[in-house]
Structure 1
Amino acid sequence: MSPSPNTPPSRLRNPLMLDYIVPTGLFILFTVFEGLVPKTNYPLVYSVKVITVTVALCIFRAPLKDYQWQPTAVLPALGVGFAVYLFWIPLDKLTPFHFPFGQRSAFDPYLFLPKPLERNLFLLLRFYGLVIMVPIMEEIFWRSFLLRLFTTSNEDFLQLPLEGFSNTALFLGSACFALAHPEWLSAFLCGLLYALLLRYTRTLTAPLIAHMLTNLLLGLSILYTHNWSYW
């Protein structure tokens, strides 16, 4: 049956909320499951997670249109991304307490994957997830979706410009982003900076670039120092 011409446009768009939610929801479910399996099974579970979330991003791809290229946003994005990298681990070391949930796997590929080929293939997949998949997924959910939803509190969030979120949404969204990370204090400040970068540049591509750079530098640092607790 065709929708009535009098049906509010927001009601027609409401199913698109799933496009913003499903990939991140799957990611969270797999992340919880990772903590329940033996370390020896972690590479397999992580591989399935990356493939599943990537497929979900392709199927529920409508929000990808939120990424609009803006050349003038590149330099601010690189600056914010580098700044977050600089404070992420040092600030976390000064954090007085940590929440018991959301702990990282701390998987040591050199210990559990002694064969170089297997280890290198896993590291390639791990960096794809860390640097490409996770930023694309999280910026869609945390910045494009949640900030606008907290601002409008209903299905009309799609009518709001990406940068049009309220200051209340800014802090609520950053708080939720913090609760999703073990390094909650660093994540809270990171969430604020990424959101303010979005407001300043008016393009979701800016926090995406920043997020990718932050994760790349953190991943390389962890690989170099073998500080797997942040992995």
Structure 2
Amino acid sequence: MTEHNDPRTAPSASPAFSVDAPLFSRAAWARILPFGAYIFFIILGDMLERTGIARADLRWLYPVQIGAVALLLAYNWRGYHELRGPLPSVRQMLVSLAVGVLVLVLWINLDAPWMTVGSSPGYDPRRNGELDWVLIVIRIAGAALVVPVMEELFWRSFVMRWVDSADFEALEPARVGIKGFLVSVVLFGFEHNLWLAGIVAGVAYSLLYMRHRNLWSAVLAHAVTNGLLGVWVVATGSWAFW
């Protein structure tokens, strides 16, 4: 005898995504907010400059910007599970160092007009024609120690995996699909004035994360690129690259 379920009592199929579920989880916000704070200060600086404040007088914004990002990273540190595992092996670290240097070389050479979008006023740390070493140290330290952690948590750990899975923390880096890879790389590229160099860097850092399955590999490569770029900028006076 065939049984017929009463449609009034039969359980309904659960939707793939609940309309009441938030778009971003708490883990996602922990990676979004430091990046959002960083972008906020960039926009704030542009708005203040449009009001007539000289760009040279806005250099103090960078220490505040980096400080705000560092505080947000510290506040959420316990939730960054991808940074609490073992460090990369010595071999992986050497590969990351090499990738960081390679990205730097490409970055300062991929600057043809068609490889850029908009213009970058850069960051000039000189005061009355003399180098302000306090600003220089803060700039390089921020770019090499804070920015790589913030950006790799946002672009690689979060965006690249979230595009493929809302439960991004459960997705192994090696299992990221082509969609997540391309979306994160292209957006990361166009976050920068040198969009092509940005895309190349995004590809390099993403592949490190996916292959080593360790976000520290990408952070280390990114830190090497940014740190050496800072040294090169100061040595050559190429402030537009900052």
Tell me the TM-score normalized by structure 1.
Answer: 0.85
Q: Which has the higher helix share?
A: 1
Taking the aligned partners of 2:81 and 2:114, their CA distance within structure 1 comes to 40
For structure 1, the residue ranges without an aligned partner over 5 or more in a row are: 1-10
Aligned partners of 2:101 and 2:224 also within 8 Å: yes
CA distance in 1, matches of 2:179, 2:43: 29
- Could you tell me whether the CA contact under 8 Å between 2:56 and 2:124 is conserved in 1? no
| Residue in structure 2 matched with residue 145 of structure 1 by the alignment | 158
Identity across the alignment (%)? 26
Q: Within 2, Cα distance between the matches of 1:173 and 1:107?
A: 26
Partner of 1:200: 211
Counterpart of 1:125, as a letter, is I
What does 1:41-120 correspond to in 2, within 5 Å? 41-67=57-83, 68=85, 69-71=87-89, 72-93=91-112, 95-96=113-114, 98-100=116-118, 103-110=119-126, 112=127, 119-120=132-133
Single out whichever of 39-48 and 125-134 deviates more from structure 2. 39-48
> What letter matches 1:77 in structure 2?
S
Q: Which residue of 1 aligns with 2:173?
A: 162
Quick one: higher RCO (CA 8 Å, sep 6+), 1 or 2?
Answer: 1
State the shift of 1:41 in Å: 2.3
Cα distance in 2, alignment partners of residues 168 and 113 from structure 1: 49
User: SS of the counterpart of 1:92?
Assistant: coil
Asked whether the equivalents of residues 38 and 65 of structure 2 are also in contact (C-alpha less than 8 Å), the reply is: yes
- Greater shift, 58-67 or 23-32, is seen at 58-67
TM-score (norm 2): 0.82
Alignment length, in residue pairs?
215
Q: CA RMSD in A?
A: 2.2
SS in 1 for 2:179: helix
How far 1:131 moved relative to its partner? 0.5
Matched residue SS, 2:232: helix
Return structure 1 stretches of 4+ with deviation > 4 angstroms.
113-116
> For residue 220 of structure 1, what is the amino acid of its counterpart?
V
